[in-house]
Structure 1
Amino acid sequence: MSKAKVMEWVQKYTMILALILVVAFFAVQTGGKILYPQNITNLIAQNGYVFILSVGMLFCILTGGNIDLAVGSVVCFVGAVGATLMVGGMNVVLAVIVMLLIGTVIGAWQGFWIAYVRIPAFIVTLAGMLVFRGLSNVVLGGMTLSINKFETFIMVFGGGASCYFPDLIGGGPTVLVNGSEVVLNMFSIVVGIVLIVGYLGFAACSYISNSKKGYANAPIAAVAGKAIIVVGVIGYFFWKFAQYKGVPTVLAWIGAIVVIYTFISSKTTLGRHFYAVGGNEKATKLSGINTDRIYFIGYTNMGLLCALAGMLTIARMVSAQPTYGDGYELDAIGACYIGGASAYGGVGTVPGVIIGALLMGVINLGMSIMGVDANYQKVVKGLVLLAAVVFDVVSKRKKA
C-alpha cells in the first residue's frame, strides 16, 4: 500500500484509532477497571442522552456549521412538564405523547425563526436556552419532583434497577468475573449474535448489490477489516453486558435512532439535501431545493430528539430537577466535531458522531474512575474538542 493510501486510511479512521488509544490509556491508568462489565454498561446508560442529542445536532451542523444551544434547556423543560403531568395523574402513555409533541413544537418554533425569518441560529437558540431554562424552574417551582412510582415509564426509558431487559432465555453458564462468580445473561449473548449475523448479511448484500450495479466498492481487504472491527465491538459489548445485568433498555433507543438516521442521511433524498445545503447553499437553492425547508426540518427534528432525551434523563434519574440538561448542548456539539463533523457544514456521519460520543464518554468515565477533579475534566474535554476542530480545519487547508 502506498504512503498516500496509508495517510488517507489514517485520516479516515483517525477517531477510531484515537478511541482505541484512549481506552488503552485509561485501561492502564485504572488498572483495567474501566473495562469492568459494570463500567461498560454505565458508559452506555449514563451517556444515552449524548448519543441521542448528538445525532440531532449533526443535522443542524450539516446545514453550514449551525448549532443548537437550547437542547439542554429543552431537555429539562420537557422532562419537567412530563414529570408534572404524570405525578398529577395523567396516563403515562399520554404523558409521553405530550412530551414528544412539546419537544417537536419547540423545535419547529426555533426552526421557523432560523429558516424563514433568517435570524442566526446562534441567537435564536441562545434565547431558547434562557427561555426554557427559566420555564423549567417555573414548572417545577425550583424543586425536585420524584417519579419513582412510575415503574413502566422508568423501565421502558431506562432508569433505576429496572433499566435492563430481562433474561428471557436464562440458564446461562457461570463464569468468573473480577474474582466473583456470575451467571451469564444468555439474552445478551443471543442479541449480540443476531446483531453480528445481521450486520454481516447487510454488508455482504450491499457489496454484491454494488458490484451488480457497477458501483465502485472499497477494496475487499478494507471491507473485511471494517467487518472484523464492527463484529469485534458488538461481540465485546454484549459479552460485557452478559456479565453484568444484561442489555440496558436505553441501548434499544440508541440503536433505533442510529439505524433510522443513518438510513436518512445516507440513503434518502432528504439526507442528501442536508449535505448539499452545507456544501453550498446558494447552488443548492438555485438547483430548485427548498433550503428554508431543510433548516426547518433540521431544528424541528432536534426538538423531537430533545424530547426523547428528556424522557431518558428523568427515567434514569427517577426525578425531574431544574438543573437537568445543564451542559448537554456542549456534550452533543463536542461529540459531533470529535466524530468528524465539519465546523463549516456539509460533512459528517451518524456512525462518526457515535464514535465521538463514545470517546467523550470514555474520557468522562476514565477520569471519574481515576478521581480526577471535575474542573480538570472540563479542561481535558475542552482541549479534546479544540484538537478535533483544529484537525478538521488544517486537513481541509491541506486538501485545498
Structure 2
Amino acid sequence: MQTPIQNNQPSLGNESPFKSLLRNNMRQYSMIIALVFIMVLFEILTNGLLLKPLNITNLILQNSYILVLAVGMVLVIITGHIDLSVGSVAAFVGAVAAILMVNYEMPMFVAVIVSLLVGALIGAWQGFWIAYVKIPAFIVTLAGMLLFRGLTMIVLEGKSIAPFPESFQKISSGFIPDIGGGSSLHLLTIIIGIVLSVIIIITQLRARSTQVKYQFDVQPKGLFILKLIGMVAVLNVFTYVLAAYEGIPNILIILAILIVLYTFITNKTKAGRHVYAIGGNEKAAQLSGIKTKRMTFWVFVNMGVLSALSGLLFAARLNAATPKAGNLFELDAIAACFIGGASAYGGIGTVPGAIIGGLVMGIMNNGMSLLGLGVDWQQGIKGLVLLAAVAFDIYNKNKAA
C-alpha cells in the first residue's frame, strides 16, 4: 500500500510540520479518513457483519473488476480525457472469451491472451480517433459504448454462454494454496503479512533517510513512527481476517501486481511524468518535446487491455458470458477515480487514490445491501458522494488559485 506522497517543499512561514503535512496532503488524507469513517459506520450499523472474514473476502471478489478498471481509468482522467466504453468492452471481451473457451474449447491460456489482444485492438481503435483525428474522447467512447454493447448482443445472440472451464473460474474465485494443513488459520497468508510488514518498514525507513540526506522536509519522528505502526497494524489485521476464512484470493494477487506496477510507472518513469504533463497542459507538453498524440494513443490502448482483463475477471466470477455484463461499470470506475482524488480538469490523480475511491464505493454498496437498502437508494447515495467529491476538488482548486 502506498502512503500519501510527501510534498518536499519547505514549510510556509511559521507553520508547524504537522500542519504543513496535513495541508499538502489534504486530498489523500481526506479520502483515507472517509474510507475509515465509512467502514466504522457500516460496521456499527450492520452489527459487525461488514468486517466478518467472509464478507471482507466477498468485498474483494465483488469489486475486483471495478478496481482493475479504475487503475486504467485514472490514467485516462489524468490526461484530461474520459472513457465511457469500458463496461461494454468488458462485456464484449467476456463474450469473445466464452466463445473461444466454451464453444471452440480453446486452451484457457491461449484464450486469455487472445482476449487481451482484442482489448488492446479496441483501445487502439478508440485511441486513434482521439489522439490523431482529435475527436473528443467523450464522443468516441460513447460511440464505443453503443458499438461494443451491440456487438456483445450479436455474438452472444441474446443468450448466455456457460460454463467456463474450472481453471478459468479459479482466476476470480480461487485462493492461493496453504502450506501444511490442519490449522484453522491460513498460515501462508499470515506469513505473507509479516513479510510485507518488514518490506514496508525497510522501504519507509530508507525513504525517510533519503529525504533527510537531501534536506527535505520530513514528518516529525514521533508521527512517522506512529504512521509506520498504523500501516503495519492495518496490514496484519487485514491478512489475519483473510487467513480466518480461505486466505488470499487469487484476484487479490492480480490487483496487488497492477497497483504496484502502475504506481511505479506513474511515479518513477518518464512515461508517467509525460501522462501528468499532458493532463496539466497539453500544448506546453507538446512544445517541451513530449509526443502527446502517441502517449494519448497508448493510454487508451492500456485502457482497452485493462477493460478486457476486467471482462475476463467478471466472466470468471459469474461463470458465464451474458449480454448484460459490464452494465454501468464505466460509471463506477469513473466515480472511483474522482472520489479517490483525481481532478475533473486532468493532471491530478494517483493509482492508490483510485483504489481507495473504489473501496469507498464497494464498501458503501456492500454496507447498504447488508442494511437492506434498495438499488434506488444505493444509486442516489452514490450520486451524492460523487458530487461531493468533485465539489471538494473544485473547492481545493479555487482555494489554491
Specify if TM > 0.5: yes
Out of 83, 87, 92, the residue aligned to residue 77 of structure 1 is: 92
1:61 equivalent to 2:61? Answer: no
- Alpha-carbon offset, residue 114 of structure 1: 0.4
- Alpha-carbon offset, residue 223 of structure 1: 3.4
1:276 equivalent to 2:290? Answer: no
CA contact (8 A) 1:170 1:187 kept: no
Could you tell me how far apart the structure 2 residues matched to 1:353 and 1:169 are?
A: 37
- Alpha-carbon offset, residue 233 of structure 1: 2.4
Q: What residue in structure 2 maps to residue 234 of structure 1?
A: 235
**Structure 1 residues 138-157: aligned runs within 5 Å:** 138-148=154-164, 150-155=165-170, 157=171
Could you tell me how far apart the structure 2 residues matched to 1:166 and 1:76 are?
A: 30
Give CA-to-partner distance per residue, 1:165-194, whole Å, 9 cap, x none: 12123343xxxxxxxxxx111121111111
Out of 99, 123, 146, the residue aligned to residue 115 of structure 2 is: 99
Could you tell me how far apart the structure 1 residues matched to 2:230 and 2:333 are?
A: 25
Q: What residue in structure 2 maps to residue 165 of structure 1?
A: 176
Regions of 4+ moved over 6 Å? none
- Alpha-carbon offset, residue 138 of structure 1: 0.9
- Alpha-carbon offset, residue 222 of structure 1: 4.5
Q: What residue in structure 1 maps to residue 261 of structure 2?
A: 260
Q: What residue in structure 1 maps to residue 330 of structure 2?
A: 329
Could you tell me how far apart the structure 1 residues matched to 2:381 and 2:202 are?
A: 40
Q: What residue in structure 1 maps to residue 247 of structure 2?
A: 246
Give CA-to-partner distance per residue, 1:27-53, whole Å, 9 cap, x none: 111111101111111111110011110
**Structure 1 residues 1-400: aligned runs within 5 Å:** 2=16, 4-5=19-20, 8=23, 10-64=26-80, 66-87=81-102, 88-148=104-164, 150-155=165-170, 157-159=171-173, 163-172=174-183, 183-400=184-401
The amino acid that maps onto 1:97 is I
Could you tell me how far apart the structure 2 residues matched to 1:77 and 1:112 are?
A: 20
- Alpha-carbon offset, residue 55 of structure 1: 0.7
CA contact (8 A) 2:28 2:353 kept: no
Deviates further, 38-47 or 232-241: 232-241
The amino acid that maps onto 1:313 is F
CA-based RMSD of the aligned residues comes to: 1.6
Q: What residue in structure 1 maps to residue 12 of structure 2?
A: none
The secondary structure found in structure 2 opposite 1:360 is helix
- Alpha-carbon offset, residue 211 of structure 1: 3.5
CA contact (8 A) 1:171 1:186 kept: no
Aligned length: 384
Could you tell me how far apart the structure 2 residues matched to 1:95 and 1:6 are?
A: 48
Deviates further, 382-391 or 232-241: 232-241
TM-score, structure 2 as length reference: 0.92
Q: 1:325 to 1:191 in 2, by over 3 A?
A: same
- Alpha-carbon offset, residue 399 of structure 1: 1.1
Could you tell me how far apart the structure 2 residues matched to 1:334 and 1:233 are?
A: 25
Give CA-to-partner distance per residue, 1:91-116, whole Å, 9 cap, x none: 11110110010001101110010001
CA contact (8 A) 1:73 1:326 kept: yes
- Alpha-carbon offset, residue 241 of structure 1: 0.6
Could you tell me how far apart the structure 2 residues matched to 1:223 and 1:51 are?
A: 29
CA contact (8 A) 1:61 1:67 kept: yes
TM-score, structure 1 as length reference: 0.92
The amino acid that maps onto 2:359 is L
Could you tell me how far apart the structure 2 residues matched to 1:6 and 1:266 are?
A: 19
Could you tell me how far apart the structure 2 residues matched to 1:222 and 1:51 are?
A: 30
Q: List alignment gaps of at least 5 residues for structure 1.
A: 173-182
- Alpha-carbon offset, residue 213 of structure 1: 4.7
The secondary structure found in structure 1 opposite 2:50 is helix
- Alpha-carbon offset, residue 225 of structure 1: 3.8
CA contact (8 A) 2:176 2:247 kept: yes
Could you tell me how far apart the structure 2 residues matched to 1:61 and 1:236 are?
A: 33
CA contact (8 A) 2:98 2:161 kept: yes
